[in-house]
Structure 1
Amino acid sequence: MKIKVVLTLLLICVSTLTFAQNKYIVKANEAYARENFCDAAELCKTAYSKLTRKGSSAQSKKADMAFKAAECYRHTERYREANEWYDRAILLEHQDDEPLVYLYNADMLLKMREFDKAKTNYEKYKSLVPGDARAASGIESCTDNRVYIAEKLPYVIENQTSINKPEFDMSPVFGDRKLTKMYFGSSRPGSTGKDINPRSCEPYMDLWISELDKKGNWTDPYLVKGEGINTEDDEGTLCFDERKKKMFFTRCPNMRKQNLGCDIWVSEIKGKTEWKEPTKLKLKSHDSVSVGHPCTKDGKFLIFASDMAGGYGGRDLWYTTYDRKSDEWAMPKNMGPEINTKGNELFPTFALNGDLLFSTDGRPGLGGLDIFRATKVGEENKWENPQNVGSPINGENNDFSMIEKDKRFGYFTSERKGPNGENIPDIYSYEQPPYIYSLKIIAEDLGENNAPLEGATITVSGPDGTWTGISEEDGSIFWDKKPAGDRYINEAKSYTIKIAKDGYYEDAKGLELTTVGLDYDQDFVMNMGLFPKRPIRLPEVRYVLNKWEFINDETCMSKDSLEFVYTILTEHPELVLQLNSHTDSRGRNDRNQILSENRARACYKYLVEERGIDPRRIIPVGKGEEDPRMVYLQNGEYHASDRAGGEPTRLIESYINGFRRSNKDLFSALHTMNRRTDGAVFSLEFDPETAPAADPKYLTYLKY
């Protein structure tokens, strides 16, 4: 009898304990189902603490409460707490029932920049759910995150402290054509709703306005005026038509024990400062569905975010069109896989050029929601190829609601750590500093195989003025900053550059430089050359003894040497070149003259017939032995150029003959130096339309 009593009491205690545990679980699940995450987090933690790990059923329930507590923290942007509770769920093997615990835990670790741990959990999730693209996207994010940070764009990011408060401030948009009124959502003191929103653990949000003063500073915000605009519910993310006559905004009601989704409302302007009572757009099939984050330009084509059935993942971007005759909005259509992913797509806005800006956590990025830019396709309402806008606009926390004021400046919302040290939504500005340009000119002597030209005067003229400089020993001159700190080369400007030096032909054409349309930093390096008034020294061309046949063997590739002439002519289409061939002084004068003319014509024929140079641009001249070469003697060596210094020495016959007996090798070498082909500028004004015909005799050889 006593045993039966004990067993009965034991069963009663167990039943009572089980009932108590189930009561906590029921309350937690009810709050969680209504998305009252603020309350549900504590209820799930309480239920978790009441449950034991003994037995598979109890462990499963305990793991479920840990997972839901983590989910509550994830939805209320408390990532470290979420990570802690996901870890607990994993220790209780909740991944066997819900593999998403790995995915969401990895998402939190990515936000915390623990890339290796995040990648491990993404890989674990991928092994359990191989078809989910979010795993691959997460793995790629862990790898590319360092790349995004390394390739940080030169934006200046600034917290708008004159607008932001310690509470939520988010989703700015301009409410007038002059871009002097900023509308945004905020949960700051003074809002209509007085309670705490159980979804966000923050006060309810209202729509606020800040205006620019005459100094360009944002003034203290005030509530948007109009009957029925701000209520005790959440009012947030909004947009306007291009005339700023219609305002579309998001409202999210919260009624006890009801699972209600958000809606889009529209209001028309009333006077200059107020709005009429709004009406709700009929876009959804059930009250539990959420629609919000409206985006429009003309008030007739509306993009929005929703979790309605038929999407690709969490919340997708959808669109609808307005029919004026029926005064109704068409059945929403999904924007398709080009935009939407398995994750969430939210906060759409239009860029100035019509591109679509939106945030997603379903593509590789830096963590959480990243802002992407999709390119508009023609005049259609279609967008493609979304690209991450990169760091520093995007960071490891949520970034969204980007608007452009101009091509360089705009605003967005970010949950990065603010001035108060907390990760809450604040409004930030971004500004791209002026592009930085520098200019380096390298002056070259075109008669010395493009050798550096020292002492050339470089003149740059542009809309900001004219300045000059002298090239240094290496031929270069460099400009970046002026003494006052401003720059020589500036944005959206065009410049003309000229080069000049005594003893050289004028460069009448010069160079043009423009930064118009150049949307990135650039170090300009430009080569400028001048043709000397002295003979142009060409690479060595050798001929068979007493002939005009080129030598092309291991000792000298004469045709390769003529490629230098070809290059000069193709790079300088205004040039007409006189090719002068010389012989040494040995042999009869008349035969040397004919030999030199035939050698000049051999060069001419090669460049015209084999390389396609316009024959009117070359004049072959035979100089015979009448123009001995000037060389430069330094330390017993003869140089063809004066760049190494040395004593000028003309290789006349009597000078060379002085070595006939004393130094036969030098005697022969000096004669060889006289046998040459060089060039001279005949004209720098070649015009193919007006130039006279070439002399046909240049294509035939003289009798030798």
Structure 2
Amino acid sequence: MKYHVLIILLFIAFGCNTRQSESDKEGMPVLNGKYLGQKEPGLTPEIFAPNIVSTGMAEINACFSPDYTEFLFSVIMPGNNFVIMSMKYNGQEWSAPEVAGFSGEYSDADPFITADGKWLYFVSKRPVDSQQKPKTDWDIWRMKNINGQWGEPEHLDSDINSDQDDIYPSLTKEGTLYFSSGRGGGNNRDIYYARSNGSGFKPCVKLNDTINKYWEGDIYISPDEDYMIFRTYGRPTGNGMYITFNSDGEWSIPQNMGEEINKTGGEFCPMVDPDGKYFFFTSSHIIANTDTGEKLTYQKIKNEFINSYKHPGMGRTDIYWVSASVINNLRSKIVK
């Protein structure tokens, strides 16, 4: 009797999961290929995977695994809570976005998978100890790849995490960790790096004032540590994302990446895909034209607001991508 009840329950559970999966993929085209089957951009930034990844919600971050079988991004929820989403590729098609297995309970963001695919780093406000309450500041965590599955989240120690926000981890192929931290006090953030010691990291070091002169955050460090892109505020040459190049251990003066990238001055979350072909970032640039030429009524305004949550390019954050040639073009102008 118990056996038959168990079988019935399994069928019910399977049916529910199948319907949920079908519901998640409803209206979603079959996506295959390295970049979710998207038409690849040129030198003009374009919204990435519109109405699939970039929707009317607020999406940030863009992270592919080195073998292009997983794509991670984050969604900003009402109340400024964050959740990491996952899409997986089985060799034939990509799955619909789902909340990543390690996310959804606490505020999580900024996923980064190392070049060898062995570690997934992210930031979270989850409690360090299960007996504690969720934290009010961000800490950096990581998970090891165990036979193709991500293991248990591991909190980085006090050589990395502080009592202030520590965010946006990015690693070189040699294992050097770059991140942004508010440990300097006030509302400021600066860029730090920490060399690998084999099992973890040596104490972190703050970059000098060639880089850390204003507010700096959201760092992408190249695998070879030869260039770095970061978000900054307060510079006389404008806000947004800047790039700097490393020559013999010295970083060049950071340069604004230009109006094609920094359309609003609030662009952030830089990332280059594992093959180095495309530069991804987040922007709230408005591309939709809502002016119909008709006299507005309350109902029309209400409908416009409701419809704006159904499409990207309406002023909430979306993920953009552009050919990484923009980086080489800037290199040729900056590095002499």
2:172 aligns with 297
Once the two structures are superposed, what CA deviation does each residue of 1:99-120 show, in whole Å capped at 9, x if it has no partner?
xxxxxxxxxxxxxxxxxxxxxx
Aligned-partner SS, 1:205: strand
Query: CA 1:246 to 1:252, structure 2 compared with 1: closer, same or farther past 3 Å?
Result: same
Aligned-partner SS, 2:211: coil
Alignment partner of 2:261 out of 393, 406, 409: 393
**Alignment check: 8 A CA contact 1:250 1:262 kept:** yes
Amino acid at match of 2:44: Y
1:362 aligns with 234
Amino acid at match of 1:374: T
> How far apart in 1 are the matches of 2:190 and 2:222?
19
**Within the alignment, does 1:246 sit opposite 2:119 as a pair?**
yes
**Alignment check: 8 A CA contact 1:159 1:418 kept:** no
Q: TM-score, normalised by structure 2?
A: 0.65
**Alignment check: 8 A CA contact 2:122 2:169 kept:** yes
Residue correspondence of structure 1 range 250-399 to structure 2 within 5 A: 250-253=123-126, 260-272=136-148, 274-283=149-158, 288-298=163-173, 300-309=175-184, 314-324=188-198, 327-342=199-214, 344-351=215-222, 354-367=226-239, 370-378=240-248, 380=249, 382-399=250-267
Amino acid at match of 1:270: I
1:172 aligns with 62
**Alignment check: 8 A CA contact 1:349 1:357 kept:** yes
Amino acid at match of 1:409: Y
> How far apart in 2 are the matches of 1:336 and 1:283?
21
**Within the alignment, does 1:415 sit opposite 2:289 as a pair?**
no
Quote how far apart the aligned CAs of 1:359 are: 0.9
Quote how far apart the aligned CAs of 1:295 are: 0.7
Amino acid at match of 1:209: S
> How far apart in 2 are the matches of 1:302 and 1:286?
12
Quote how far apart the aligned CAs of 1:299 are: 6.3
Query: CA 1:292 to 1:176, structure 2 compared with 1: closer, same or farther past 3 Å?
Result: same
**Within the alignment, does 1:430 sit opposite 2:314 as a pair?**
no
Query: CA 1:278 to 1:257, structure 2 compared with 1: closer, same or farther past 3 Å?
Result: closer
How many residue pairs were aligned? 260
Quote how far apart the aligned CAs of 1:285 are: 9.1
What are structure 2's unaligned runs of at least 5 residues?
1-41, 289-307, 331-336
> How far apart in 1 are the matches of 2:282 and 2:150?
25
What CA RMSD, in Å, does the superposition of the two structures yield over aligned residues?
Answer: 3.7
> How far apart in 2 are the matches of 1:266 and 1:432?
27
Quote how far apart the aligned CAs of 1:219 are: 5.1
Query: CA 1:283 to 1:430, structure 2 compared with 1: closer, same or farther past 3 Å?
Result: same
> How far apart in 1 are the matches of 2:95 and 2:133?
40
Higher RCO (C-alpha under 8 Å, 6+ residues apart): 2
Quote how far apart the aligned CAs of 1:408 are: 5.7
Aligned-partner SS, 2:243: strand
Amino acid at match of 1:404: V
> How far apart in 2 are the matches of 1:252 and 1:418?
33
> How far apart in 2 are the matches of 1:221 and 1:187?
14
**Within the alignment, does 1:206 sit opposite 2:83 as a pair?**
yes
Amino acid at match of 1:264: I
**Alignment check: 8 A CA contact 1:350 1:356 kept:** yes
Amino acid at match of 2:96: D
Quote how far apart the aligned CAs of 1:355 are: 0.9
> How far apart in 2 are the matches of 1:166 and 1:231?
19
Quote how far apart the aligned CAs of 1:259 are: 7.1
2:8 aligns with none
> How far apart in 2 are the matches of 1:308 and 1:214?
43
Query: CA 1:257 to 1:248, structure 2 compared with 1: closer, same or farther past 3 Å?
Result: closer
Aligned-partner SS, 1:372: strand
Quote how far apart the aligned CAs of 1:392 are: 1.4
> How far apart in 1 are the matches of 2:197 and 2:83?
30
Amino acid at match of 1:400: F
**Alignment check: 8 A CA contact 2:195 2:202 kept:** yes
Q: TM-score, normalised by structure 1?
A: 0.33
Query: CA 1:208 to 1:286, structure 2 compared with 1: closer, same or farther past 3 Å?
Result: closer
**Alignment check: 8 A CA contact 1:371 1:389 kept:** yes
Quote how far apart the aligned CAs of 1:286 are: 8.4
> How far apart in 2 are the matches of 1:412 and 1:165?
15
> How far apart in 2 are the matches of 1:164 and 1:260?
28
Query: CA 1:305 to 1:287, structure 2 compared with 1: closer, same or farther past 3 Å?
Result: closer
**Within the alignment, does 1:235 sit opposite 2:108 as a pair?**
yes
Once the two structures are superposed, what CA deviation does each residue of 1:649-693 show, in whole Å capped at 9, x if it has no partner?
xxxxxxxxxxxxxxxxxxxxxxxxxxxxxxxxxxxxxxxxxxxxx
Query: CA 1:319 to 1:416, structure 2 compared with 1: closer, same or farther past 3 Å?
Result: same
> How far apart in 2 are the matches of 1:246 and 1:166?
31
**Alignment check: 8 A CA contact 1:348 1:401 kept:** yes
Amino acid at match of 2:73: F
Quote how far apart the aligned CAs of 1:300 are: 3.0
**Alignment check: 8 A CA contact 1:341 1:362 kept:** no
**Alignment check: 8 A CA contact 1:415 1:424 kept:** yes
Query: CA 1:383 to 1:210, structure 2 compared with 1: closer, same or farther past 3 Å?
Result: farther
Quote how far apart the aligned CAs of 1:262 are: 0.8
> How far apart in 2 are the matches of 1:387 and 1:180?
34
Quote how far apart the aligned CAs of 1:297 are: 2.1
Aligned-partner SS, 1:329: coil
Query: CA 1:432 to 1:248, structure 2 compared with 1: closer, same or farther past 3 Å?
Result: closer
> How far apart in 2 are the matches of 1:355 and 1:230?
31
Query: CA 1:252 to 1:423, structure 2 compared with 1: closer, same or farther past 3 Å?
Result: farther
Once the two structures are superposed, what CA deviation does each residue of 1:135-190 show, in whole Å capped at 9, x if it has no partner?
xxxxxxxxxxxxxxxxxx9524234312123322111122123x4532111246xx
Quote how far apart the aligned CAs of 1:214 are: 7.3
> How far apart in 1 are the matches of 2:329 and 2:232?
30
Query: CA 1:235 to 1:433, structure 2 compared with 1: closer, same or farther past 3 Å?
Result: closer
Quote how far apart the aligned CAs of 1:428 are: 1.2
Query: CA 1:164 to 1:285, structure 2 compared with 1: closer, same or farther past 3 Å?
Result: closer
> How far apart in 2 are the matches of 1:422 and 1:222?
23
**Within the alignment, does 1:182 sit opposite 2:71 as a pair?**
yes
Give the number of the structure whose alpha-carbon radius of gyration is greater: 1
